[in-house]
Amino acid sequence: MKRWKGLLSDAGLLYSAAIWGATFFMVKGVLQHVSPLGLLGYRFLIAA
């Protein structure tokens, strides 16, 4: 059981790092169509 928790936590860290890294390419593509200030506005609007 303890080993299972360790593997699960490692998989979670790997998954979150992959998602975080993938957002770089998404933001790079979005910035070709939207200004940086506009992107920040959308992000804050979604978070609110």
Q: What is the pLDDT of residues 1-48, one digit of tens each?
A: 677 778 899 999 999 999 999 989 889 999 999 999 999 999 999 998
pLDDT reported for residue 5: 75
pLDDT reported for residue 3: 75
DSSP alpha helices (H): ranges in the chain? 2-30, 36-47
| φ, ψ at 33 (rounded to 5°) | -115, -20
pLDDT reported for residue 4: 78
pLDDT reported for residue 33: 94
pLDDT reported for residue 15: 95
Cβ contacts of 31 within 8 Å, gap of 6 or more:
39
pLDDT reported for residue 1: 66
